[in-house]
Structure formats: C-alpha cells, structure tokens
Amino acid sequence: MEPGVQARDLSSIHITVTPLKIAAVVIVNCLIAIFIVSINSSASFLISLIFSQCIGLSIAACTIAAANLIRIRWHSLHIAFIAVALVGGAVLGIVIGSAVARFFFPELPRINTSEHFQTSLIFALFFGVIVTYVFFSFQRISTERVRRLEVEKNAVITEIKLLQSQMEPHFLFNTLSTIISFIDDEPAKAKKMLESFTSFLRTSLVLARSETITLSQEIDMVKHYLDVFSIRMGDRLRYTIDVPDELKSFSLPPLLIQPLVENAIKHGLEPSVRGGELRITSVRNADVLRMIVVDSGRGVSETSQGNGIGLENIRKRLELAYGRKSKLIFEENKPSGVCVTIEIPYETVASDHR
C-alpha cells in the first residue's frame, strides 16, 4: 500500500458532539429497544431499554473518541481503529448495561461469555454499525454543507469587492487635467486641489478593501471628493452634510454614498450652467437607517442616471449584503434635481454588519 495513495485529510473523519446529536442517539436507542421487544414478546421493555441505551451511548462515545483523538496518516487504518472502537464500545456497553440492569432487577441472571452474551453482542454490533454509519453520514453531509456555505460566502465577498472596485475613471483623468491646467496660472489652487485629491484617493483605496466601514469614514471620503469638485466648479457647487453624531459609528458596506454623490455631480450639477446644491443627510426611523443624497441639478428628465451603472452597482451590493431588507429609492426632487435614498436595516448596521 503506497503512502501517497492512502494519505488523506483526516479532518473529514472528525465528529462534533452536540446536544442534538446526543438526543438523536438516545432516540435511536429507544427505537432499538422497541424493535427488540416487538420481535421477542418475552423480553422486558425496561431491561431492553437499559441495554440499548448503555450499548448505544457506549458505542457512540468510543467511536467519537477514536475519530477525534486518534490521528493516523492512513485513512483505512483510521477507519479500522474506529471499527475496533465500535466493538469495544459494544462490549463495554453490554457490561455496563448488565450492571445497571442487575442494580434495578437483582433477579436478573449474570451475563457472561455464554450464548446470552454472544446474542447481545451480535445485536449490539448490528445496530451499532447501522447507527455509526448513519451518524458519520450525517456528519459528512453537515461538513459538506458548511464547506458549501463557506464557498458561497467567499463568492459573495469576491463579487462585492469586484463591484466596489468599479470606480469611474473619468474623475481621475479630469481631476489630473484640471490640476495641470492650474499649475502655471493658479499654483495655490492646484496645490489645494492636489491635496484634496490625494486625501480622497488614500481614503478610498483603504476603505474599498474593507468589508465594512463606519458611516463617519464614508462621509470623510465624500468630503474629500466634494472638496476636489468645489475647486473645479467654484461657486457653482454648494453642499451640506447632516449626519447626527449618534449615527456616525454605525457600520455599513463601503462606497455606498460616494457613488451617489458622483452620480449627482456628473449627471446633474456639473453639466448645468448654474450648478446647484447638494445635500447629504442620514436619519434613523425606528429600525431603518436612511442615507439621502439630494441635488438640484438637471433632474431625471434630462438624464438616464436612474438606470446607470453606478446605481445598478449599488443595488447589487445592497442585495448581496442585506437581501430584501434594503432599498434603493430613486425619485425626482422638486422643483429640480434628483433624490436618491438608501434604506438599511438599523439593527443589522448597529451589530457591525454581518
């Protein structure tokens, strides 16, 4: 037998003990006692129950100990040890069951190496093999389910990170072009814009790699972003941010608000000759946290931003993170502009996100 062929990952033969599994063993033992009485009308149910419980629990304890404590490189040899533990557990269970039964029923004859012991051992091994096989099968199914859920979780995390990485390149190139245009005539403005742009890049790159960030961190990133556009657009851009202090420490997926702000400026405010105002607010209403971005730009009728890639990106990320408990609401702002609202379950956010 070649070691390279027989070596296996023995974590697949690892049994976890839970109250539910112990209860299942006890129930199966009761069914075995009922079965024995049904095929042998002269058998006492109480004595059969005592023996089945002692033998079943002893077999379970011995096989679990062999599976978890004995670590051997060869998979087949490990299974052999479990089989030996099953036989040992059966013999031990018969001895314990005999002692317990004699304690409650002193008139019961002693069990020795006679035909009675052999019959009991055969029954014990027969049912022990069946129960052990079922037990290990359920454990394997449970392990595979956990592994599958872990794979699905990793896939979701990967998809979220891919979606987070989809930033509009036009902002990068336009900002660098503007800085270059300012260097000769307005060096102070170019320096200030470069500082704001650098702060935004540094913050966004760090936060985009995180699964969750605080609302305060998201708002800081948005401020750096708006500082860049305040220099580019001058008086044409006015903005206010209203986030209560008690909400700033709550956790949420990164880059939810910033793409909304980018959309509002790109599609609503920057194309407008007169510019406009941008308001960012966050409020809690019972068990819902709302983040609202409102602009007074060109509005829905003159842009397709409601169906844009940025908003679709956010919709997917919200669905992956919160399922149907989240909402992305897109509507017109009167008299002009757009209002976009993100709703997140407050308790999910308060518990540091999942």
Which three-class secondary structure state does DSSP give residue 143? helix
- Amino acid 33: pLDDT: 84
From the centroid of its chain, how far is CA 190?
45
Boundary (domain end) residue, out of 135, 160, 185: 160
Q: CA-CA distance, 269 to 273, in Å (whole number)? A: 8
Q: Same domain for 173 and 152?
A: no
pLDDT band at 283 (very low <50, low <70, confident <90, very high): very high
42-56, 76-90, 96-110, range with greatest mean pLDDT = 42-56
Burial group, residue 66, by CB count within 10 angstroms (0-12, 13-18, 19+): buried
Q: CA-CA distance, 335 to 44, in Å (whole number)? A: 87
Q: What is the mean pLDDT of residues 53-80?
A: 75
Question: Across the strands, what pairs with 279?
Answer: 240, 294
The CA R_g of the chain, rounded to the nearest whole Å, is 34
Q: What is the mean pLDDT of residues 141-168?
A: 63
Q: Same domain for 51 and 176?
A: no
- Give the lowest-confidence range in 65-74, 94-103, 278-287, 338-347: 65-74
Range of the domain at 311: 166-350
- Amino acid 292: pLDDT: 95
Q: Same domain for 243 and 284?
A: yes
Q: Same domain for 295 and 200?
A: yes
Boundary (domain end) residue, out of 114, 139, 160: 160
Q: Tell me if 85 sits within 8 A of 69, measured CB to CB.
A: no
Q: Same domain for 260 and 225?
A: yes
CATH number of the domain bearing residue 203 = 3.30.565.10
Q: Same domain for 321 and 303?
A: yes
Q: Percentage of the chain with pLDDT > 90?
A: 18
Among candidate residues 239, 303, 228, 236, the one with its CA nearest the CA of residue 270:
236
pLDDT band at 44 (very low <50, low <70, confident <90, very high): confident
Question: Across the strands, what pairs with 251?
Answer: 214
Q: Same domain for 195 and 58?
A: no
Q: Same domain for 273 and 190?
A: yes
Q: What is the mean pLDDT of residues 183-192?
A: 89
**pLDDT tens digits for range 292-329:** 999 998 876 544 444 555 677 788 878 878 888 899 99
Q: What is the mean pLDDT of residues 137-150?
A: 73
Boundary (domain end) residue, out of 126, 145, 160: 160
> What amino acid occupies position 226?
L
Q: Same domain for 297 and 256?
A: yes
Q: Same domain for 147 and 183?
A: no
